[in-house]
Structure 1
Amino acid sequence: MKRLKLILILITAICAVSFGFAQVGINTSQPLSTLDINGNLSVKTVTLTGSGAATLINDGVYISINPQATDQEFQLPNPINYPGRVYIIRNINNTITAKLTTAAGLLFPKGSTTGSAQIYMWEGNRRSVIVISDGSNWTYFD
Structure 2
Amino acid sequence: MSKRTLKMNRLITILILGLVCFNVDFGLAQVGINTTTPLSTLDINGNLSVKNVTLTGSSSATLISDGVYISVAPQATDQEFRLPSPVSFPGRIYIIRNIQNSITAKLTTTVGLLFPKGSTTGSTEIFMYEGSKRSIIAISDGLNWTYFD
TM over 0.5: yes
TM-score (structure 2 length as normaliser): 0.83
Q: Corresponding residue for 1:90?
A: 97
* Structure 1 residues 27 and 16: alpha-carbon distance in aligned structure 2, compared to 1, 3 A threshold: closer
In structure 1, C-alpha distance between the alignment counterparts of 2:41 and 2:87, rounded to whole Å: 23
Q: Corresponding residue for 1:121?
A: 128
RMSD: 1.3
Corresponding position: 1:135 with 2:137: no
Which structure 1 residue ranges, 4+ long, deviate > 3 Å from structure 2? none
Q: 1:57 is aligned with what amino acid?
A: I
Which of 30, 40, 51 is 2:37 aligned to? 30
Deviations 1:26-61 (A, max 9, x none): 001111111000111111100000001100000000
**Runs of 5+ consecutive residues of structure 2 not aligned to the other structure:** 1-21
* Structure 1 residues 16 and 70: alpha-carbon distance in aligned structure 2, compared to 1, 3 A threshold: closer
Corresponding position: 1:78 with 2:85: yes
In structure 2, C-alpha distance between the alignment counterparts of 1:17 and 1:28, rounded to whole Å: 21
Deviations 1:85-108 (A, max 9, x none): 000000001111000000100000
Q: 1:73 is aligned with what amino acid?
A: E
1:20 partner SS: coil
1:68 partner SS: coil
1:102-121 matches, within 5 Å, as: 102-121=109-128
Are the aligned partners of 2:116 and 2:146 in contact in 1 as well (CA < 8 Å)?
yes
In structure 2, C-alpha distance between the alignment counterparts of 1:32 and 1:26, rounded to whole Å: 11
Q: Rg: which structure is higher?
A: 1
**Runs of 5+ consecutive residues of structure 1 not aligned to the other structure:** 1-14
Q: How many residue pairs align between the two structures?
A: 128
